[in-house]
Amino acid sequence: MVSVLPKLAGATALIIGRAMPEHASFSADLKRRVNEAGLDERIIFTGEMPPDRLAALLPALSLHVALPPYEGYGMTVLEAMAAGVPVIASDAGNFRKFIAEDICGHIVADGEVAEVAKKALEILRTNGAAARMGGEGRKRAEKYFSIEREVEAIGAVYEALWSGPA
């Protein structure tokens, strides 16, 4: 965002979540880099948000970027997609299964900061791209990752267990 925001007049980035004590130096370095770039007013560190507040905020976002080097499941990406927000994510956890490349978002290799910036600018500068990709992401989340689909899958596991050998 330090390289993207100067190219997007009026845009603001939110860094949502808390840094664990073992990541305090990483967080401090990020804040220092933001300050040195003169972007303190445009890159806001919100800290951790209660789930209801985050759910209310998500639909207002233009883009969700999730770049962890590792990820167990990746709920934030699904939550963004369900809220109609396009996604750029690292190739971690289940992100590749969630995101239909070039349809509702992009997957980038770990550490490819220039590629993240390029994809973010493409989505945010191309007329209608964010809305189109967000809409496709919402459809994909509803079709493949809804609570109804999860209940059906869990039910199928139990049915297989009950009907299997004792």
> For residue range 108-119, what is the model confidence (pLDDT) as tens digits?
998 899 999 999
**Domain coverage including residue 156:** 49-163
Instruction: Summarize pLDDT for 7-54 with one digit per residue, the tens.
Output: 999 999 999 999 999 999 999 999 999 999 999 999 999 999 999 999
Q: Is residue 157 part of a domain?
A: yes
CATH at residue 136? 3.40.50.2000
Q: Is the pTM of this model over 0.85?
A: yes
Q: Is residue 39 part of a domain?
A: no
- For 28-97, give the DSSP string: HHHHHHHHHTT-TTTEEEEE---HHHHHHHGGG-S-EEE--S--SS-HHHHHHHHTT--EEEES-TTHHH
Q: Is residue 71 part of a domain?
A: yes
Q: Is residue 53 part of a domain?
A: yes
Q: Is residue 132 part of a domain?
A: yes
